[in-house]
Structure 1
Amino acid sequence: MISLTSPVETRAHGWPAGAKLAALCAATMVLFAADGLVFHIAACATVLALYAAPGAVFLRAGLRRLRVLWPFLVIIALWHLITQSPVQGAVIALRLLTAVGLANLVTMTTRLSDMIAVVRWLATPLRRLGLNTAALEISIALVIRFTPALAAKGAQLAQSWRARSQRRLGWRIILPFALLAIDDADHVAEALRARGGV
């Protein structure tokens, strides 16, 4: 399985995965508890500074992964402009950008195996009750890995459409994208079965 960890080594790569995930949970709760626009601008600027600290390569890689948010940010902005509440819209957009940016930062500086180890440790009480947690652990790993992979395939599909047609990209891409996702899921299921399953 390909890791999403950044090849640029940072200090955060050496920090315990559990501590980073706990800090992410705490930071997300603070973000959702706060309502001030100035606070959210400062929080977003801090996250941007954290991305910039390891260098330009790390910053570009991190911002590239956050590009998937732009449609949601545009929808939030338009809706709050229509409802005449632009400050509230800015707070929501900044909150979303900061929370996802922090989660992406944790993903870029933490090996997938370390995150699964944290999930395994958290699921210890369930194993003591006799439940098999292997499916939970592998499911989390697959979600983390395949969400960006599917997004990349969707982007390739959109590029293929634009290269072959002058019509706007619309609902017609949904079926081929769904087939791509099902095909990937089928290959992963076969690979898991070949390795003993979960």
Structure 2
Amino acid sequence: MLTLTSPVETWAHRWPAGGKLAALAVATTGLFVVGSAWVLAGAFFATLALYLSGGGRFARAGLRLLWPLWPFVLIVGLWHWWSRDLTGGAVVVLRMVTAVGLANFVTMTTRLSDMLAVFEWLARSLARVLPPRRLALAFALVIRFIPVMLERMVLIRQSWAARSPRPARWRVMVPATLAALDDADRVAEALRARGGAG
């Protein structure tokens, strides 16, 4: 739970964490500035090329992390199809999938300790208010937990579908919340066993 770094070594693993996080910030900002579906499609295929550059095993692992997005893609697609704005729907979907794909790529190729060091350096200006290491740890864990919780939601929905013909809808919120609390408790125990947040 504390790391989602891919065991498959790629060229991106050797890049510094600060450079990758800065590139991610610039890229995601660009995704929301650009309004052309064609340009966003190019960014999406460029992201796929990034995954493929790490080999088949790495690419398959990255695509599995994107799978939990399908309910959001479906909802956005249906809404824009109903409102007859397919171009607008394509823009939203491409932005979302590409941004998450890029974030997952950085997460898969960056060790938690390296990411933590970058956030700790950025948080030094807040040292008088909040210990930089704690703030950095909070940021790093949020980034790590997002794909994990998306995958957990998919598993809960699949479990519901296997047991009931009714759609899950809001009913998955309680088990998802309990799972999140359980994961948080396990992470807290692991941190205490390692000496705490510092």
Output the TM-score relative to the length of structure 1: 0.86
Structure 2: distance between partners of 1:162 and 1:69: 17
More displaced stretch, 27-36 vs 158-167: 158-167
Determine the structure 2 residue equivalent to 1:116: 116
Q: 1:111 to 1:89 in 2, by over 3 A?
A: same
How far does residue 157 in structure 1 lie from its aligned partner after superposition? 3.4
Q: 1:164 to 1:38 in 2, by over 3 A?
A: closer
Identity of aligned residues (%): 53
Structure 1: distance between partners of 2:158 and 2:96: 27
Q: 1:83 to 1:137 in 2, by over 3 A?
A: same
Q: 1:59 to 1:175 in 2, by over 3 A?
A: same
SS in 2 for 1:185: helix
Structure 2: distance between partners of 1:176 and 1:156: 11
Determine the structure 1 residue equivalent to 2:66: 66
How far does residue 182 in structure 1 lie from its aligned partner after superposition? 2.5
How far does residue 190 in structure 1 lie from its aligned partner after superposition? 4.9
Determine the structure 2 residue equivalent to 1:178: 177
Q: Which runs of 5+ in 1 are unaligned?
A: none
Determine the structure 2 residue equivalent to 1:57: 57
Matched residue type, 1:143: V
Structure 2: distance between partners of 1:74 and 1:182: 28
SS in 1 for 2:113: helix
Q: Which runs of 5+ in 2 are unaligned?
A: none
C-alpha RMSD over aligned residues: 2.2
Determine the structure 1 residue equivalent to 2:18: 18
How far does residue 60 in structure 1 lie from its aligned partner after superposition? 0.4
Matches within 5 A, 1:109-188: 109-127=109-127, 129=128, 131-188=130-187
Question: 1:59-111, CA deviations, whole angstroms, 9 ceiling, x for partnerless residues?
Answer: 10000001111111111111111221111211121111111111111111111
Question: 1:109-164, CA deviations, whole angstroms, 9 ceiling, x for partnerless residues?
Answer: 1111111100011111222x453223212212322333333344444433443444
Q: 1:170 to 1:147 in 2, by over 3 A?
A: same
More displaced stretch, 43-52 vs 184-193: 184-193
Structure 2: distance between partners of 1:75 and 1:166: 20
Determine the structure 1 residue equivalent to 2:34: 34
SS in 2 for 1:6: coil
Structure 2: distance between partners of 1:80 and 1:196: 47
More displaced stretch, 54-63 vs 75-84: 75-84
Structure 2: distance between partners of 1:11 and 1:193: 33
Q: 1:155 to 1:186 in 2, by over 3 A?
A: same
Output the TM-score relative to the length of structure 2: 0.86
More displaced stretch, 115-124 vs 179-188: 179-188
Matched residue type, 1:134: R
